[in-house]
């Protein structure tokens, strides 16, 4: 009996080890590559290694992303204790720009039919115009040279086509999955995940033979924090945050003491500044938006019959259009969002901000100050010590430095406690 117990325990240990050896981890990247993506991939590599997975499969579909985040991802690949398999899928997916770097940096690079890879020209941070053009050109050239040498080194490390990799950066070359396999840009062409696992089964990677046939990959999901940051850093969100900053600050200035608009605007400003440090922006676009806001505000006071508001609408739309580099797919904000944002902003300044700012300059309409300058009806002789007047349906005690007889025109010049100080009205006479 004891012998059978030992055999059973040994079998359980062997079965558990075999089950662990057959584990494969999986994550899906669908969208632009940014700081949240880099954090997610690094965490997934650690979790996959800790669970004893044979490899980590990254199913990729991206139009591109930031070069800094791409570098962090590739560094995670290089320091990974387990093999990394990048699979560009499903059909119709694209490993564009940053995705090209990531695919070529993987231990195993695979693509599904009807997918493409390439167009890896780097994105420049910021942007300007005028006297900054020459400086910008030099910076772009430096970035291009760095990206070219970087992808060449990545491709050469895995024995892939370094010449094509350089053309993907310098000439924005792009090829289909079938052509990529022919050019030795990738290693495999797989119809689906099951076919991918069958093809890499028995493949030796980093001195280890993979046993993946028939294995069901274990997904590693994004954490709520990673999901939030992945959503927030998108250019559409940044555009909306910019509008919230404008509405919040102007709302607080036009309605002092409201507090809530100012608080919301301040929070949005902090998020906007954080995102501005990672998302490429065009200085000329920002200048046009600031100009538009200035035109909106000036038109509130100037009798231009809406001419400045019209100019502000045009400047705001053009600035929004120029704010991000539309040549990069992952930085494009749809025209419908820009048009709606422009119209809402114009309406905000014309209706809400305009009314609030004008209200700050209206004369006082209630309270003690509102009585100054009001005409009164003198009922009893008013002198420096006493008198009686009638105003707004009420009887008031009144005093005056110059005597005023009943029926004589007078006006209020001040209040002293519950008495009115009045004076004869200029040009007034006795009726």
pLDDT of residue 72: 94
Give the integer Cα–Cα distance in Å for 328 and 431: 82
Mean pLDDT of the chain: 81
Instruction: Identify the sign of the CA torsion 231, 234, 236, 238.
Output: positive
| 116 within 8 A of 40, measured Cβ to Cβ | no
Closest Cα partner for 29 from 76, 75, 73?
73
pLDDT of residue 127: 40
Closest Cα partner for 398 from 390, 406, 389, 407?
389
Q: Which stretches of the chain score pLDDT less than 50?
A: 1, 4, 8-21, 124-132, 430-431
pLDDT of residue 40: 95
pLDDT of residue 90: 93
Give the integer Cα–Cα distance in Å for 33 and 16: 37
The CA-atom distances, in angstroms, between 300 and each of 18, 296, 304, 361, 399 are 75, 7, 9, 12, 42
| 3-class secondary-structure state, position 158 | coil
Give the integer Cα–Cα distance in Å for 327 and 399: 77
């Amino acid at each position: 009996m004891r012998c059978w117990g030992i055999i059973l325990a040994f079998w359980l240990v062997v079965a558990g080890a075999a089950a662990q050896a057959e584990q494969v981890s999986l994550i899906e990247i669908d969208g632009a590559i940014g700081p949240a993506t880099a954090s997610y991939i690094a965490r997934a590599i650690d979790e996959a290694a800790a669970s004893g997975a044979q490899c980590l499969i990254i199913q990729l579909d991206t139009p591109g992303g930031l070069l800094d985040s791409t570098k962090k991802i590739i560094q995670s690949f290089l320091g990974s204790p387990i093999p990394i398999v990048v699979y560009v899928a499903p059909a119709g997916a694209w490993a564009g720009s940053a995705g090209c770097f990531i695919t070529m940096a993987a231990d195993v690079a695979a693509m599904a039919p009807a997918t493409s890879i390439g167009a890896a020209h780097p994105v420049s941070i910021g942007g300007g115009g005028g006297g900054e053009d020459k400086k910008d050109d030099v910076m772009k050239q430096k970035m291009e040279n760095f990206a070219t040498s970087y992808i060449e080194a990545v491709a050469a490390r895995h024995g892939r086509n370094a010449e094509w990799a350089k053309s993907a950066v310098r000439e924005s070359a792009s090829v289909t999955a079938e052509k990529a396999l022919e050019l030795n840009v990738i290693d495999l062409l797989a119809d689906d995940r099951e076919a991918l696992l069958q093809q890499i089964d028995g493949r030796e990677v980093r001195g280890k033979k993979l046993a993946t046939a028939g294995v069901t990959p274990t997904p590693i999901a994004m954490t709520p924090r990673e999901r939030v940051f992945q959503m927030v850093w998108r250019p559409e969100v940044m555009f909306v945050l910019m509008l919230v900053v404008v509405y919040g600050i102007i709302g607080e200035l036009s309605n002092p003491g409201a507090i809530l608009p100012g608080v919301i605007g301040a929070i949005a400003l902090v998020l906007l500044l954080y995102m501005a440090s990672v998302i490429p922006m065009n200085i000329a676009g920002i200048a046009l938006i600031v100009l538009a806001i200035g035109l909106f505000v000036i038109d509130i006071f100037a009798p231009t019959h809406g001419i400045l508001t019209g100019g502000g609408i045009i400047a705001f739309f053009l600035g929004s259009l120029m704010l991000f580099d539309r040549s990069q797919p992952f930085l494009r904000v749809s025209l419908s969002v820009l048009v709606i944002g422009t119209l809402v902003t114009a309406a905000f300044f014309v209706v809400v901000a305009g009314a609030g700012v004008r209200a700050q300059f209206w004369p006082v309409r209630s309270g003690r100050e509102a009585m100054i300058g009001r005409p009164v009806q003198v009922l009893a002789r008013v002198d420096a010590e006493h008198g009686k007047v009638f105003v707004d349906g009420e009887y008031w005690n009144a005093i005056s430095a110059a005597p005023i007889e009943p029926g004589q025109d007078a006006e209020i010049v001040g209040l002293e406690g519950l008495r009115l100080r009045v004076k004869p009205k200029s040009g007034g006479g006795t009726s």
